[in-house]
Amino acid sequence: MTDNLFEAFACADRGRPLIHAPEGQALTYGQMADLSGQIANALAALGVVPGDRVAAQVEKSATALALYLAALRLGAIFLPLNTAYTLKELEFFIGDARPAVFVCDPGRVHDIEAIAPDLPVLSLDRTGQGSLTERAASMPAGFATLARAADDVAAILYTSGTTGRPKGAMLTHRNLSSNTAALRGAWRFTGEDVLLHALPIYHAHGLFVACNLVLVTGASMHFLPKFEPEAMIALMPRSSVMMGIPTFYTRLLAHPGLQAAARGMRLFISGSAPLLAETHRAWTAATGHAILERYGMTETTMLTSNPYDGERVPGSVGPALPGVSLRVVDPATGEPLATGETGMIEVAGPNIFKGYWQLPEKTAAEFRPDGHFITGDLGFIDPRGYVHIVGRGKDLVITGGLNVYPREVEAEIDDIPGVVESAVIGVPHPDFGEAVTAVVVPDPKAGLTEAAVIAALDGRLSKFKLPKRVMMIDELPRNAMGKVQKNLLREQYAALFRA
């Protein structure tokens, strides 16, 4: 008996399609098993052994997915890296994780070799070709997947590092397999499903949620290199499920072919960033489908989900998934709060990560004595058990000694006609400590002004929650998964109230 996550993916029908490429070509489960076996043999020939890190900064391709599977089969630890990371950032990751091999785009090989001359570097381009595939081509397809303990680390994902140096979250075989099992039941995923996949696979959403769920159920997927509305609309009639970030949905809403294309879909899922209630309602009106929003973190994979059967509440991320213990506590004392009270969200369960790579003190600080992980997210649980996220603890604005939760203010601003979206931050203020400050993206045709926004909020929010300033910009800064980078906004407006 093995707990290797790869064993859960083994599909008895080798001829079953796994990936439908954009050009219409199909890659079967058998072909993926063979390719991952060849790559596993190639890595083993380089000296990779169980517990070694296999780092990959590569574009999305079927071969990139096979590399992930090969690392699992070897008992190695897969380390996917954002393709936007700079050479300086990569130098940190290499020094911290100390991988046994590094796979990157052919154009980066010499740069990586320069900063890590003793590190074996292989190439893999966006078409799935490079020195990695050349080495693998001469290897046998057969590979005996190595047994692993459930608590052995399967992957390390680095957090964004916006409040300090990036931390490597260690995810075990049990973490990933238990979460996939919970989602399989919660979202009614079966081998008949065809997933519309346009997410990156260096992130938990695209790899550990989307790909793992397809692989464990024997489903198939349209594996798009990136999000393009025209391609998504064209493939919807041949798909049953779509997983995306809020940006996908807002852009698809502008496409005239959406209603007809979405007619035969079974499920639309959104995550990685908050979905505006307005977008949720607009999507339902346009397609007849209510988006299923869920909540998770790098350290925990998925924690909650709106129900498959039952009301999917706009602005909520739904109840906790089976097996997940979720509570809301007073951030200062750790005491549980009553239903409807806002506090820090803490979680426990088989999906919670093992800890931060080589940071035992940081790991210990993030867990309660009873094993609950302190998420850093603020929220509340309503009387029906649905979880509502109001912001990150670090995003909490304390103005004049009073707490302001950004999501509450953002929700009111987003309801103002002419507002496309908003972000609320705290900016240093000589009298209040922090001033509530709104950054608004207006509809260019609306002629919206700072005074108009503040006037519209008057009477809808307590005086201390009203923005002291409203800054108009063309676009909010976002990371690759669509999350608003409030740290950049705080830096940009740090001097706003200085004398």
Beta strands 397-399 and 241-244 are: unpaired
Residue 209 phi, psi dihedral angles, 5° rounding:
-95, -60
Per-residue confidence (pLDDT) for residue 479, from 0 to 100: 82
Q: Are 97 and 55 in contact (CB under 8 A)?
A: yes
Tokens of 406: 């950004």
DSSP 172: E
Per-residue confidence (pLDDT) for residue 1, from 0 to 100: 41
Per-residue confidence (pLDDT) for residue 162, from 0 to 100: 45
CA distance 8 to 379: 34
DSSP 128: S
Burial of 8 (0-12, 13-18, 19+ CB in 10 A): middle
Per-residue confidence (pLDDT) for residue 2, from 0 to 100: 59
Q: Are 379 and 408 in contact (CB under 8 A)?
A: no
Nearest to 72 by CA among 174, 170, 185, 153: 153
For 358-377, give one letter per residue: b (16+ CB within 10 A) or e.
Answer: ebeeebeebeeeeebbbbbb
Alpha-helical (H) ranges within 343-388 are 360-365
Q: Are 485 and 477 in contact (CB under 8 A)?
A: yes
Residues 6+ apart with CB under 8 A from 68: 56, 78, 80, 201, 207, 211
Which amino acid, residue 442? P
Residues 6+ apart with CB under 8 A from 410: 422, 423, 424, 438
Residue 132 phi, psi dihedral angles, 5° rounding:
-65, -50
- Sign of the dihedral defined by the CA atoms of residues 294, 297, 301, 303, in that order: negative
- Full DSSP string of 50-103: TT-EEEEE----HHHHHHHHHHHHHT-EEEE--TT--HHHHHHHHHHH--SEEE
Per-residue confidence (pLDDT) for residue 22, from 0 to 100: 66
Which amino acid, residue 166? P
Count other C-beta atoms under 10 Å from residue 314's C-beta. 18
Residue 393 phi, psi dihedral angles, 5° rounding:
-55, -40
Per-residue confidence (pLDDT) for residue 401, from 0 to 100: 74
Nearest to 209 by CA among 243, 241, 235: 243
- What are the percentages of helix, strand and coil residues in the chain, rounded to 5? 30, 25, 40
CA distance 99 to 97: 6
CA distance 322 to 300: 14
Longest CA pairwise span in the chain (Å) = 71
CA distance 246 to 248: 5
Q: What are the CA-CA distances from residue 305 to residues 57, 206, 291, 292, 376 (Å)? A: 30, 17, 11, 7, 19
Residues 6+ apart with CB under 8 A from 231: 22, 198, 224
Residues 6+ apart with CB under 8 A from 50: 74, 75, 76, 146, 148, 152
How confident is the model over 368-426, as pLDDT tens digits? Answer: 999 999 999 999 999 999 999 988 888 888 888 777 888 889 989 999 999 999 999 99
CA distance 274 to 179: 21
- Full DSSP string of 243-305: EE-HHHHHHHTT-TTHHHHTTT--EEEE-SSPPPHHHHHHHHHHHS---EEEEEETTTEEEEE
Per-residue confidence (pLDDT) for residue 164, from 0 to 100: 59
CA distance 309 to 190: 16
Tokens of 223: 């594996």
Q: Are 79 and 56 in contact (CB under 8 A)?
A: yes
Q: pLDDT 10s per residue in the chain (499 long)?
A: 458 999 999 888 999 999 997 665 689 999 999 999 999 999 999 999 999 999 999 999 999 999 999 999 999 999 999 898 889 889 999 999 999 999 999 999 999 999 999 999 999 999 999 999 999 999 999 999 999 999 999 999 998 654 457 899 999 999 999 999 999 999 999 999 999 999 999 999 999 999 999 999 999 999 999 999 999 999 999 999 999 998 899 899 999 999 999 999 999 999 987 888 888 999 999 999 999 999 999 999 999 999 999 999 998 999 999 999 999 999 888 999 999 999 999 999 999 999 999 999 999 999 999 999 999 999 999 999 999 998 888 888 888 877 788 888 998 999 999 999 999 999 988 778 889 999 999 999 999 999 999 999 998 888 889 999 999 999 999 987 788 999 899 999 999 998 5
Q: What pTM was computed for the model?
A: 0.86
Residues in a beta bridge with 344: 329, 378
